[in-house]
A and B are shown apart, each in its own frame.
Chain A
Amino acid sequence: MSIILLASLVFLLMPIGLLVYIRSYNRHKKNHFFEKESMRQKFESEILKTHIEVQEQTMQTIAAELHDNIGQLLSLTTLTLNSINVTENEKASEKIANSLSLVNKSIKEIRELAKILHGEQIVESGIGNAIEQELSWLRKVGTYQLQVNNGLLDLKNASADKDLIILRLLQEIINNIIKHAQATFIQIDTYLKGDTLFLTVKEDGIGFNYDEAMVNKTGMGLASVEKRVKLIKGKIEVNSVPEKGTSIFIEIPYP
């Protein structure tokens, strides 16, 4: 009889033990859950930051364009129009024709500017188009010899958050080249192979010591690029040889 009672006690204790185990397991789950939640928040805040940076870059480009190009054209138009002497018919009509030509050029430039503004939203219509827009701007500057193979123009899948980060990565890499590389030639390749998006940027600039830059924290732009690549679970490889140039290989799981 007491055996049955004892066995019943064991049978009673077993589910209690199970409940205790479940509660302790749940505590681990809680930690894991909050860890995941904080990672998600970090990702979202990074996306927001990226979005702002892309906007800032667009604004800077527009400001530079307005100041250096359209502003100059319109100033020249004003000067030309001011110098018109109505009594000198022949010269006046020539100057008016010149002014008209300058105004038309300004209109054309403004249209191009509108495209940049649209370019920021173009991420929504595909990363291939956004990259194209970004590169067309670089092409227009005319400082670099560009070789572009954009294999992302007809992508069927898209990932809005990743697209924004990829565009920003490219912008940051290009910014770094403009600011520090002193390059004359830039080669950009983008394509999708299976579930991986590849982005390669090569240039023939002055190069740098990668390890040294990372230790001395002088490569802040590059550190930010690396952080962003890791954020979207990608891989990055930087090969740089002083005086020979730099190559950056990025692989991102996509979409």
Chain B
Amino acid sequence: MLKLFSVNSLIEFACLIFALIFLIRDKSIFWRITLAYIFIVVFTETFARYIGKVYHSNLIVYNIFTFVELTYITFAFYCFLKDFLDIKKIIIPVYLILLSIYIVFSINNNMILVYNAITISVMSVVFVIYGLMYFFLLLKDEKYIDLKFHPAFWWVGGAIIFYFGGTLANFFDDIIQQKFLGKFIPRYIIYTTLNLFLYGFWSYSFICRARQRKICR
């Protein structure tokens, strides 16, 4: 049973604890969805490990999760970018294109045996662009925001580190999951590091959000 928990799942579980403590009373739709998403992440990671042990391949779990990830991250960027510009016109068509890539890949390939790396790669690039767009608009905006306690900034920060940092790993997915670096697979090292940043930043953004809620009350 203990082996069901990897370092990644422990990081995600810690993030879930933060989300439960700081977001449970949040009434904003986005932060409620975030809590649900982190819960799905932890569940997926644990379930994928279980499936992997029983059926020797858990790719289908991650492939299905990709759809949830694509939808959630797109929605999050929509929520953060809509404060600066009418992003609906861009984000909806881009989401539909990414969804089409996901569906076409899933239909043309066996979801159980082939990892949907193309969708992940394309969506990573798109999310990095959204992240950069957010930072650009944030800098351009005349209003001053204390970024130290701004939840959106830390959320986007975590996302941009994860998706930008993972670009190479996505493109060389085939190589890095077959080779070994000592005891570990490089893919595992890269994604554990990225997850640590992603969920670390997100956990801090939950704290900022709780603080923001308290101040606004």
Do A and B form a real pair? yes
Contacts of B167 in A (CB 8 A): 11
CA A25 to CA B131, docked complex, whole Å: 17
Q: Which of A8-58 contact B (CB under 8 A)?
A: 8, 11-12, 14-16, 18-19, 22-23, 25-26, 29-30, 32-34
SS class of chain A's interface: helix, strand, loop or mixed?
helix
Which listed residue (B146, B164, B175) contacts A4, Cβ 8 A?
Answer: B175
- Chain A residues within 8 Å of B165, by CB: 8, 11-12, 15
Find out whether the CB atom of B147 lies under 8 angstroms from the CB atom of A5.
no
The answer to whether A1 and B161 have CB atoms under 8 Å apart is no
Residue B181 interfacial (CB < 8 Å) = yes
Number of CB contacts from chain A to chain B under 8 A: 66
Residues of B with C-beta under 8 A to A32: 144
- Asked if B190 lies at the interface with its beta carbon under 8 angstroms from chain A, I say yes
Query: Hey, which chain A residues are within 8 Å of B100, CB to CB?
Result: none
**A15 B161 Cβ-Cβ under 8 A:** yes
Which residues of the other chain, B, contact A26 by a CB distance below 8 angstroms?
139, 144-145, 147
- B194 at interface, CB cutoff 8 A: yes
**CA separation between A15 and B168, bound complex, in Å?**
14
A1 adjacent to B181 (CB under 8 Å): yes
B193 in the interface (beta carbon within 8 A): yes
B73 proximal to A (CB < 8 A): no
Q: Are A22 and B139 in contact (CB under 8 A)?
A: yes
Give A68 to B96 CA distance when docked, in angstroms. 84
Give the distance to chain A from B175, nearest Cβ to Cβ, in Å.
Answer: 7
Q: Given the complex of chains A and B, what is the CA–CA distance between A77 and B118 in angstroms? A: 102
Chain B interface (Cβ < 8 Å from any Cβ of A): 131, 135, 138-139, 143-148, 153, 157, 160-161, 164-169, 172, 175-176, 179, 181, 186, 189-190, 193-194, 197
Interface set of A (CB-CB < 8 Å, partner B): 1-2, 4-5, 7-8, 11-12, 14-16, 18-19, 22-23, 25-26, 29-30, 32-34
